[in-house]
Structure 1
């Protein structure tokens, strides 16, 4: 593994252990060149996924991009980080087990929306506002009423 500090091509593994959910191996590494210490994670990848964007462009699936977008939606919300990590792992496993190597970005977006809705309504609405490209306050109001959510955050039952 290349050192992120000095770029040296090799590093030594000082400690390995499974992550909290057992879906990854956490490795503490030491660079013999500069002495820098860093952590890497090793995960199983069932298949290489390609995401087909709305524009028609194809890009490789990046788990970290998924993590960042969910982190923005869940920022400052009372959600345990391990619940978010389990949700992300579940989404990635679902994507990899679809049987397809090329998936439309809408599939990823809808999976995230569904998972966030059951996790935290505020995070769900935050993600939806970006994913559905809300432009005006009326877009929020329409979305909230379509989803059975009131504007004051109380779920309406029909």
Structure 2
């Protein structure tokens, strides 16, 4: 399963934040799985600070969906929200606080299930991922990284 397009507020140590999200999603009821992700940093002309978009690649047998976005239960969406807020604010926060702050947003059409023998589903994911690469929001310069992710 691919979970795509989360809009996250900027912070310099994004890699450690992603690792915290990765660790927070390892719940007891979930099959052991490796979480992979790609991220893109972007900044519009009117924005004061950059923000991040992420796509997570998960085992569909371990995670079948993000869950209900309005739920107060600790589903995958709320695990991601809490982990990101914990990384940004460096303290434990309630699901209510994390939901109200709105630093993490999920794409309404951002969940895909893909199989290697399904070219139509693969194309949908690639088109969704292409959003990460739009040129007009990428700052360029020495030492400025716009893309990253997990390696194998």
TM-score relative to the length of structure 1: 0.27
Higher helix share: 1
TM-score relative to the length of structure 2: 0.28
Structure number with greater CO (CA < 8 Å, separation at least 6) is 2
Structure possessing the higher radius of gyration over alpha carbons: 1
